Amino acid sequence: MSFEDLLRLLHVLGAAVLFGTGAGIAFFMVMAQRSRDPHIIAHVAGIVVIADTVFTATAVLLQPLTGYGLARAIGWPLTEGWIVLSLALYVFAGLFWLPVVWIQIRLRDLAKQALAEKTPLPPAFDKLYRIWFIFGFPAFAAVIAIFWLMLTKPDITLF
| Reported confidence tier of residue 22, pLDDT bands at 50, 70, 90 | very high
- Whether 158 has a pLDDT exceeding 80, the answer reads no
Q: What percent of the chain has pLDDT over 70?
A: 99
pLDDT at residue 135 in the model = 97
C-alpha separations of 130 from 44, 72, 94, 97, 143 in Å: 17, 41, 18, 14, 21
- Pairwise CA distance, residues 17 & 98, whole Å: 17
Nearest to 154 by CA among 93, 90, 83: 83
DSSP annotation of 54: I
| Whether the Cβ atoms of residue 115 and residue 39 lie closer than 8 Å to each other | yes
What is d(CA 21, CA 41) in angstroms, rounded to the nearest whole number? 18
pTM: 0.92
Q: Does 157 score more than 90 pLDDT? A: no
Rounded distance between C-alpha atoms, residue 84 and residue 153, angstroms: 11
pLDDT for 143 equals 96
88 vs 27: CA distance, rounded Å: 26
The model's pLDDT over 52-109, given as tens digits with 9 standing for 90+, comes to: 999 999 999 999 999 999 999 999 999 999 999 999 999 999 999 999 999 999 999 9
Question: 87 phi and psi, to 5 degrees?
Answer: -65, -40
Asked if pLDDT for residue 24 goes beyond 90, the answer is yes
- What is the rounded distance in angstroms from the CA atom of residue 90 to the CA atom of residue 92? 5
